[in-house]
């Protein structure tokens, strides 16, 4: 009888312990649900500051990314893009400011943030000695999936990224584009709600870059929130819902692609004479009429035009001089021209005194 009572008491204690554990689980789930209901932005940062010695990599950065949208972070090497990603991905602690991802603070609730995100850096981080399947299965196992679940998820991702046939080969045999796709697949094993892509097309040929753009569009269609850093203006123009421009650790402009293009207050006139020997004459005419020296390159004269009414004046003047234009167009400013107007240098230019940020 005494033994029965002891066993009954032990059963009660186990049941009580299990109830307490379940209570913790449910309260955690409720807090997650509450976070999701109250969350206006998938990513939010305010006043982020980060120093590397005397270099201020981030200098009061503010960012917001609504759920399900893609934010393009544009800027040259050393502008602070990678540092911002590393702070938001909980890999670096900011020296000042605050940031949340999925409603969780990146410093105080780093574990919760990591459970929500995926990260693909500038260079493929897969193990080159393992096969494509083995890389993805390993990551799945590290994330707590059973072996069967990890293999199933690996198969899904290899098919999605057109890597099924290559999945049994060592990653070192993959082309650059295939390796980047495998790296991106690896970041999706845990089904992240927020994905950080830090210059994912660096070093890729144009075709591989276009293929990766298609993959990113597919993720956006699935509702994944994406923060994409790039120094390729065309990439930001093609993919981003919204764009922020970084320079010297600061956000110097933000808006949609069209909004940024409108900030210059000018359209771009391009004239290519049929006779290349008359290029200097065309540049002289354009400069006289718009009141500023145009740019001459590649057999073409390019100039910012604030008043479209000058175009027919230029056409008439060239006609009077007997100059035939093989091409003549008036278009919106490109993002490259916007960046040049904002910073005084092109996005691909890297100031000599700067270097790409490296964690201390």
Domain end, chosen from 261, 294, 316, is at: 261
How large a percentage of the chain has pLDDT more than 90? 53
What's the pLDDT score for residue 232? 83
Q: What would the pLDDT profile of 37-58 be if each residue is shown by its tens digit?
A: 345 799 999 999 999 988 899 9
What's the pLDDT at 204?
A: 80
Q: Quick check: 174 and 180 in contact, CB under 8 A?
A: no
**CATH number where 206 lies:** 3.40.50.300
Report if residue 285 sits inside a domain.
yes
- Whether 33 has a pLDDT exceeding 70, the answer reads no
List, for residues 213-243, the tens digit of each pLDDT value: 888 998 889 899 999 998 888 888 899 999 9
**Helical spans, DSSP H, in 48-105:** 81-88
pLDDT category at 4 given cuts 50, 70, 90 is: low
Same domain flag for 25 and 53: no
The CA-CA-CA angle for residues 233, 238, 239, to 5°, reads 105
Residue 253 domain flag:
yes
- 78 with 181, same domain: the answer is yes
Whether residue 66 lies inside any domain: the answer is: yes
For the chain, how many structural domains are there in total? 3
pLDDT at 63: 94
Select from 206, 213, 199 the least CA-distant residue to 123. Answer: 199
C-alpha to C-alpha distances, 305 to 197, 287, 340, 341, nearest whole angstrom: 36, 11, 16, 14
- CATH number reported for the structural domain that contains residue 305 in this entry: 3.30.70
Mean pLDDT of 106-116: 95
Q: H or E element: which one contains 62?
A: strand 55-65
pLDDT of residue 47: 96
Residues 214 and 303 in one domain: no
2, pLDDT greater than 70: no
Query: Using CA atoms, how far apart are residues 235 and 197, in angstroms rounded to an integer?
Result: 12
> How far apart, in whole angstroms, are the C-alpha atoms of residue 170 and residue 78?
34
Q: 120 with 188: CB under 8 angstroms?
A: no
Reported as type and span, the H/E element at residue 236 is helix 233-239
Q: Are residues 48 and 27 in the same domain?
A: no
pLDDT at residue number 135: 94
pLDDT the model gives residue 265:
64
315 located within any domain = yes
Among 261, 283, 307, where does a domain finish?
261
Q: Which residue has the tokens 């981080």?
A: 125
Q: Do 221 and 94 belong to one domain? A: yes
Q: Is residue 134 part of a domain?
A: yes
One domain, residues 11 and 93: no
Q: What is the mean pLDDT of the chain?
A: 83
The answer to whether position 196 is within a domain reads yes
Mean pLDDT value across residues 246-255 = 91
Q: Is residue 346 part of a domain?
A: no
Check whether residue 206 and residue 245 sit in a common domain: yes
Provide the pLDDT for residue 24.
37
User: Which strands form 117-120's sheet, in the order they lie side by side?
Assistant: 117-120, 194-198, 225-230, 70-74, 242-247, 250-255
Average pLDDT over residues 334-352: 66
Compute the C-alpha angle 274/279/283, nearest 5°: 125
Residues pairing with 322 in the sheet:
none
Examine the pLDDT at 327 and tell me if it is beyond 60: yes
Taking only the tens place, the pLDDT of each residue in 257-295 is: 888 877 766 788 999 999 999 999 999 999 999 998 999
Is residue 210 within 8 Å of 181, Cβ to Cβ? no
Give the range of the structural domain holding residue 30, as residue numbers without chain letter: 1-38
119, 85 contact by CB (below 8 A)? yes
- pLDDT of 352 above 80: no
Do 56 and 9 lie in one domain? The reply is no
> pTM score, two decimals?
0.72
Final residue of a structural domain among 233, 261, 289:
261
Q: Are strands 300-305 and 325-332 parallel, antiparallel or unpaired?
A: unpaired
Q: What is the pLDDT of residues 297-316, one digit of tens each?
A: 999 999 888 888 899 999 99
∠286-287-291 over CA atoms, to 5°? 120
Is there a single domain that holds both residue 131 and residue 194? yes
What distance in Å separates the CA atoms of residue 136 and residue 183, rounded to the nearest whole number?
9
pLDDT tops 60 at residue 14: no
Task: Verify that 29 and 172 share a domain, yes or no.
Answer: no
Are 100 and 204 part of one and the same domain?
yes
The Cα 47–Cα 306 span in angstroms is: 35
For residue 6, is pLDDT > 80? no
Task: Find the mean pLDDT for residues 93-120.
Answer: 95
* Same domain assignment for residues 117 and 78: yes
């Amino acid at each position: 009888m005494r033994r029965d009572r002891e066993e009954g008491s032990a059963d009660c204690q186990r049941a009580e312990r299990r109830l307490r554990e379940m209570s913790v689980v449910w309260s955690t789930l409720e807090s997650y649900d509450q976070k999701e209901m109250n969350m206006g932005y998938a990513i939010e940062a305010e006043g982020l500051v980060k120093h590397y010695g005397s270099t201020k990599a981030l200098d009061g950065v503010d960012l917001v990314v609504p759920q399900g949208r893609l934010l393009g972070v544009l800027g040259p090497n050393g502008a602070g893009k990678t540092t911002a990603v590393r702070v938001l991905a909980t890999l670096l602690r900011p020296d000042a400011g605050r940031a949340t991802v999925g409603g969780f603070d990146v410093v105080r609730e780093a574990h919760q943030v990591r459970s929500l995100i995926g990260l693909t850096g500038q260079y493929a981080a897969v193990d080159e000695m393992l096969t494509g399947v083995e890389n993805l299965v390993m990551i799945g196992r590290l994330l707590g999936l059973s072996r069967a679940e990890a293999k199933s998820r690996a198969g899904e991702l290899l098919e999605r990224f057109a890597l099924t046939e290559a999945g049994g080969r060592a990653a070192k045999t993959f082309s650059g584009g295939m390796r980047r796709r495998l790296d991106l697949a690896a970041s999706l094993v845990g089904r992240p709600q927020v994905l950080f892509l830090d210059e994912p097309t660096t070093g890729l040929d144009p075709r591989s870059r276009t293929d990766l753009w298609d993959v990113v569009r597919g993720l956006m269609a699935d509702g994944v929130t994406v923060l994409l850093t790039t120094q390729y203006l065309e990439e930001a123009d093609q993919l981003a819902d919204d764009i922020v421009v970084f320079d010297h650790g600061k956000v110097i402009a933000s808006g949609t692609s069209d909004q940024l293009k409108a900030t210059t207050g000018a359209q771009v006139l391009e004239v290519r004479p049929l006779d290349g020997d008359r290029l200097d004459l065309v540049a002289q005419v354009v400069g006289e009429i718009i009141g500023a020296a145009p740019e001459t390159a590649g057999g073409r004269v390019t100039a910012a035009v604030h008043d479209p009414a000058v175009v027919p004046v230029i056409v008439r003047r060239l006609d009077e001089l007997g100059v035939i234009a093989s091409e003549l167009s008036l278009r919106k400013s490109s993002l490259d021209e916007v960046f040049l107007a904002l910073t005084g240098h092109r996005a691909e230019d890297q100031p000599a005194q700067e270097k790409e940020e490296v964690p201390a």
